[in-house]
């Protein structure tokens, strides 16, 4: 076969609580990879541009109320609806930098009191990321960063619960090696350097591997 020439893109995921620097680092990595000639795309969840995403946006901006389980399923549906597009990009050799995914989905809902195993169900079988870059920051530090915003969930005591759910989820994850915890208290530049190194290694190492459509299976 011809597998030696086949190169897929890497699925690089950023996760963490609010105000931990995920979007900053995802953007910087995107700019770096693009400027060095890589085929790369930045993707953010929730994707607020679709009809499902618009409902999620109305919920997050407190313009609409929804049952906790209903909104959980909408966040998951928002990932499923983008799956064909993301899959094609990866198979076509484009590296994806994704800002939040099913791990946020589970952690925010578990923080509300929903059952962790129930929360994982709707995302089972989605694409599995090749790495989870977890931006690890205490709530005290994230609060110092100009405070939380106006959206639902952006409150100190809720964020504390989200942090706890993230670590619960990691402990229960069958693929513990995917998680790369970074000390998000470091400077933007130091973090960026580490993330670039990790990402370049990953892009090289996973280019010959098949896509993994087996999240939490
Ligand atoms: N969020 C995000 C969830 O509750 N479930 C999910 O599945 C995802 C992807 O949306 N506070 C929450 C976490 C955030 C909020 O995301 C909006 P961002 O990255 O802050 O714009
Ligand atoms: Mg936010």
**pLDDT tens-place string over residues 78-114:** 999 999 999 999 999 999 999 999 999 999 999 999 9
Among the listed residues 46, 53, 169, 52, the one whose alpha carbon sits nearest the alpha carbon of residue 114: 169
Domain assignment present for residue 212? The answer is no
The predicted model gives 64-74 an average pLDDT of: 98
Please identify, by atom number, the ligand 1 atom nearest to the C-alpha of residue 99.
19
For β-strands 95-99 and 40-44, DSSP reports them as parallel
6 C-alpha to ligand 2 centroid (Å): 37
Question: Per residue in 9-67, pLDDT tens?
Answer: 999 999 999 999 999 999 999 999 999 999 999 999 999 999 999 999 999 999 999 99
Structure confidence at residue 193 as a pLDDT band (50, 70, 90):
very high
pLDDT at position 5 is 62
Question: Per residue in 116-156, pLDDT tens?
Answer: 999 999 999 999 999 999 999 999 999 888 778 889 999 99
First and final C-alpha spacing in the chain: 28
Cβ–ligand 1 distance for 75 under 6 Å, the answer yes
- Measured by CA distance, the residue closest to atom 16 of ligand 1 is 46
Among the listed residues 42, 33, 11, the one whose alpha carbon sits nearest the alpha carbon of residue 212: 11
The CATH code of the domain that includes 145 is 3.40.50.300
Domain assignment present for residue 217? The answer is no
153 C-alpha to ligand 2 centroid (Å): 8
Domain assignment present for residue 211? The answer is no
Domain assignment present for residue 214? The answer is no
Lowest mean pLDDT among 36-50, 62-76, 164-178: 164-178
Which is higher by pLDDT, 174 or 39?
39
Cβ–ligand 1 distance for 45 under 6 Å, the answer yes
Structure confidence at residue 6 as a pLDDT band (50, 70, 90):
confident
Q: Give the Cα separation of 46 and 52 in Å (integer).
A: 9
Domain assignment present for residue 129? The answer is yes
pLDDT at position 49 is 98
Domain assignment present for residue 216? The answer is no
H-type alpha helices, the chain: 22-35, 51-60, 68-80, 83-91, 102-111, 116-120, 139-144, 156-172, 188-206
Domain span at residue 147 reads 3-206
Flag whether pLDDT at 4 surpasses 90: no
Domain assignment present for residue 169? The answer is yes
149 C-alpha to ligand 2 centroid (Å): 7
Q: Which two tokens stand for residue 47?
A: 């994707």
Question: How many structural domains is the chain composed of?
Answer: 1
pLDDT at position 77 is 99
Domain assignment present for residue 179? The answer is yes
pLDDT at position 147 is 73
pLDDT at position 143 is 87
Which of 22, 47, 57, 60, when mutated, tests ligand 1's pocket best, judged by the most ligand atoms within 8 Å of its CB?
60
Task: Find the radius of gyration of the CA atoms of the chain.
Answer: 17
């Amino acid at each position: 076969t011809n597998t030696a020439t086949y190169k897929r893109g890497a699925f690089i995921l950023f996760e963490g609580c609010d105000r931990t620097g995920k979007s900053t680092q995802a953007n910087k990595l995107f700019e770096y990879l693009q400027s060095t000639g890589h085929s790369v795309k930045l993707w953010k969840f929730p994707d607020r541009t679709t009809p499902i995403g618009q409902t999620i946006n109305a919920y997050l901006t407190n313009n609409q109320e929804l049952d906790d389980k209903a909104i959980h399923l909408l966040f998951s549906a928002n990932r499923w609806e983008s799956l064909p597009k993301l899959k094609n990009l990866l198979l076509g050799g484009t590296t994806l930098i994704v800002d939040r995914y099913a791990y946020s989905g589970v952690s925010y809902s578990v923080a509300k009191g929903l059952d962790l195993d129930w929360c994982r169900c709707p995302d089972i079988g989605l694409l599995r990321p090749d790495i989870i870059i977890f931006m690890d920051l205490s709530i005290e530090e994230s609060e110092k960063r100009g405070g939380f915003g106006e959206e639902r969930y952006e409150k100190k005591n809720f964020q504390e619960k989200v942090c706890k759910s993230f670590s619960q989820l990691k402990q229960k994850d069958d693929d513990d090696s995917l998680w790369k915890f970074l000390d998000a208290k470091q400077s933007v530049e130091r973090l960026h350097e580490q993330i670039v190194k990790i990402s370049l290694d990953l892009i090289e190492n996973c280019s010959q591997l098949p896509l993994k459509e087996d999240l939490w299976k």
